């Protein structure tokens, strides 16, 4: 049995802002059949502590970055959950990273340094007689943990893995925080955690972790380029032998279709149109569930939408984000009967949209892995995606070769421009008109491997190799 401590800033069903939470929540259960005992360490946000139920104190510090802190032990399903209860850092209204107005917490550096330090101490000292062999760190919020582990003298006994879920977020803070964060001055250089005269928590993880991973093979390659590396491509190039891409999966028990074959979608499609008052047009009903940002290509979609709407297609959108994009889609829905826009997030609505939609749009400029296209595949809701990151790795394009082989599961487009997206939308409509081809693609999509089995096996093998020192 390989023992792994997973340290993460969010985890379903307790706290979620993005795909990281889904992955952190799914991994322990997915890995158990592969001989991995994973326990999860999570910050003690009010929602998390309120949801814990029975708990007991298993570690404590009189002064952890400015106040008393303890580790609670609880349960996450059948798995062990550790929660860092540090009221001075986490007991506040708002989100995990920002206040109710969307402003980053001023002490985020200390908040997540505390999480990282607690993880390192658990690995260095053991907890409840349980001694992790691997420390699995997720994103910048756990980036200092491998460095703290080394400073505690445990780096040889416990190996560390840092997974990059999105390199755009790097945990940057000013250099004057070195002593406050308990970092060694010797590491403040270009070969350490220094980043343009600041401190980068993510860079610390990239430099000091024993192994690195990211959430798709294509994104692993993209990260080593200037276009995608966000200033850290040089660091990743130096560590390319230690970097691997392992695709995310989805919980198929949660995200299974409410029908067994393509024919079962029809009633859900009718219900979705009725719910949003969409006219009975001949084209595909496209759904989009996303943060509304330029990263997600939503500005491109606004320009390309006529290619869909003019050919009888429709769009149902659910999301929030950039205020200008929110208003633009609301305005579009006001004047066009083929567009319905809901600002916010509602998981029950998202499920109805995916079940009833014909296609799901993911026009991202970059996408480390993506989960919505996997939800779409599981429901026979064909993904239309940009050729980038995990979107490239999970969708088989309806190219002449893909169609001839009878393997296509969706539509990819490249380059990531409004013109290319418009052409892809026109292609989507044409495919939808060919009912035999569309039905075959739906069957392919619903049969595609989107769960955790293969990926969990890859993680388990990586952990074993690390524990053996290979």
142 and 271 inside one domain: no
Q: What are phi and psi of 19, to 5 degrees?
A: -65, -25
- Give the mean pLDDT of the chain: 96
Mean pLDDT throughout 60-76?
96
DSSP-assigned letters across all residues of 198-234: EEEHHHHHHHHSSEEEES-HHHHHHTTSTTTSTT-HH
Q: What is the dihedral of CA 353, 345, 370, 20, to 10 degrees?
A: -140
Q: Is 351 inside a domain boundary?
A: yes
pLDDT of 110 above 70: yes
Q: Is 255 inside a domain boundary?
A: no
Number of separate helices (H) and strands (E) present in the chain: 18, 18
**What pLDDT digit, counting tens, does each position of 399-420 carry?**
999 999 999 999 999 999 999 9
Q: What is the pLDDT of residue 470?
A: 53
**What pLDDT digit, counting tens, does each position of 231-281 carry?**
999 999 999 999 999 999 998 888 899 999 999 999 999 999 999 999 999
By the 8 A CB rule, do 38 and 70 touch?
Answer: no
Percentage of residues in the chain having pLDDT higher than 70: 100
Separation CA 53–CA 74 (nearest Å): 7
How many domains does the chain fold into? 2
Q: What is the pLDDT of residue 281?
A: 96
pLDDT of 91 above 90: yes
Binding-site sequence positions: 16
Q: Is 254 inside a domain boundary?
A: no
105 and 138 inside one domain: yes
397 and 461 inside one domain: no
**Domain containing 117: what range?**
2-249+453-468
**What pLDDT digit, counting tens, does each position of 155-191 carry?**
999 999 999 999 999 999 999 999 999 999 999 999 9
Q: How far is CA 16 from CA 22, 96, 274, 351, in A?
A: 8, 9, 30, 17
DSSP-assigned letters across all residues of 118-147: HHHHHHHH-BTTB--SEEEEETGGGTTHHH
Mean pLDDT throughout 274-296?
96
First to last CA, the chain: 17
325 and 193 inside one domain: no
Separation CA 385–CA 380 (nearest Å): 15
Q: Is 319 inside a domain boundary?
A: yes
Query: 362-375 burial, b for 16+ CB within 10 Å, e for fewer?
Result: bbbbbbbbbbbbbb
47 and 188 inside one domain: yes
Instruction: Give the residue from 238, 248, 181, 193 showing the smallest Cα distance to 212.
Output: 238
463 and 422 inside one domain: no
Q: What is the pLDDT of residue 17?
A: 87
pLDDT band at 19 (very low <50, low <70, confident <90, very high): confident
Say what the pTM is.
Answer: 0.93
102 and 245 inside one domain: yes
Q: Is 18 inside a domain boundary?
A: yes
Binding-site sequence positions for ADP-alpha-D-glucose: 16
Q: Is 257 inside a domain boundary?
A: no
188 and 333 inside one domain: no
Q: Is 461 inside a domain boundary?
A: yes
Q: What is the pLDDT of residue 253?
A: 84
Ordered alpha helix ranges (H), 52-181: 87-90, 108-125, 145-151
176 and 89 inside one domain: yes
DSSP-assigned letters across all residues of 11-28: BTTTB-SSHHHHHHHHHH
pLDDT of 469 above 80: no
Tokens of 103: 């402003």
Displacement of CA 233 from its chain's centroid (Å): 20
235 and 274 inside one domain: no
Mean pLDDT throughout 12-27?
91
42 and 71 inside one domain: yes
275 and 128 inside one domain: no
Q: Is 29 inside a domain boundary?
A: yes
* Domain CATH number, residue 166: 3.40.50.2000
**What pLDDT digit, counting tens, does each position of 112-141 carry?**
999 999 999 999 999 999 999 999 999 999
Q: What is the pLDDT of residue 223?
A: 97
**What pLDDT digit, counting tens, does each position of 184-234 carry?**
999 999 999 999 999 999 999 999 999 999 999 999 999 999 999 999 999
């Amino acid at each position: 049995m390989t023992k792994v401590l997973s340290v993460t800033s969010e985890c379903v069903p307790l706290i979620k802002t993005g795909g990281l939470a889904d992955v952190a929540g799914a991994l322990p259960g997915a890995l158990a059949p592969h001989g991995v005992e994973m326990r999860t360490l999570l910050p003690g946000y009010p929602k998390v502590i309120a949801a814990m139920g029975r708990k007991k104190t298993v570690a404590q510090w009189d002064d952890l970055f400015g106040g008393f802190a303890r580790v609670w032990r609880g349960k996450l399903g059948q798995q062990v959950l550790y929660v860092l209860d540090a009221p001075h850092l986490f007991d506040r209204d708002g989100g995990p990273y920002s206040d109710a107005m969307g402003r980053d917490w001023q002490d985020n550096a200390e908040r997540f340094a505390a999480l990282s330090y607690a993880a390192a101490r658990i690995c260095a000292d053991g907890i409840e007689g349980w001694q992790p062999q691997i420390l699995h760190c997720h994103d910048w919020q756990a980036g200092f943990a491998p460095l703290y582990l080394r400073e505690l003298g445990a780096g040889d006994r416990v190996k560390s893995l840092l997974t990059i879920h999105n390199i755009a977020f790097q945990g940057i803070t000013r250099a004057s925080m070195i002593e406050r964060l308990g970092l060694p001055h010797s590491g403040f250089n270009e070969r350490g955690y220094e980043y343009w005269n600041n401190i980068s928590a993510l860079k610390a993880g990239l430099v000091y972790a024993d192994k690195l991973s990211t959430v798709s093979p294509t994104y692993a390659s993209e990260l080593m380029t200037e276009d995608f590396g966000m200033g850290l491509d040089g660091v990743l190039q130096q560590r390319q032998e230690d970097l691997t891409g392992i695709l995310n999966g989805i919980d198929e028990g949660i995200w299974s279709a409410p029908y067994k074959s393509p024919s079962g979608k029809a009633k859900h499609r009718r219900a979705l149109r009725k719910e949003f008052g969409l006219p009975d047009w001949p084209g595909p009903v496209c759904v989009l569930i996303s943060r509304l940002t330029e990263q997600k290509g939503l500005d491109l979609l606004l320009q390309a939408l006529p290619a869909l709407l003019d050919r009888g297609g429709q769009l149902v959108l659910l999301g929030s984000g950039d205020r200008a994009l929110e208003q633009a889609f609301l305005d579009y829905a006001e004047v066009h009967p083929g567009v319905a826009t809901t600002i916010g997030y509602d998981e029950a609505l998202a499920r109805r949209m995916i079940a009833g939609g014909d296609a799901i749009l993911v026009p991202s400029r970059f996408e480390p892995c993506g989960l919505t296209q996997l939800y779409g595949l599981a429901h026979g809701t064909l993904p239309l995606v940009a050729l980038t990151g995990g979107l490239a790795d999970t969708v088989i394009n309806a190219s002449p070769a893909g169609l001839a082989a009878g393997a296509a599961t969706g539509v990819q487009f490249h380059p990531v421009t409004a013109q290319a997206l418009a052409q892809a939308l026109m292609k989507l409509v044409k495919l939808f008109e060919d009912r035999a081809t569309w039905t075959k693609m739906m069957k392919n999509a619903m049969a595609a491997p989107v769960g955790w089995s293969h990926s969990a096996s890859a993680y388990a093998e990586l952990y074993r190799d690390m524990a053996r020192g290979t």
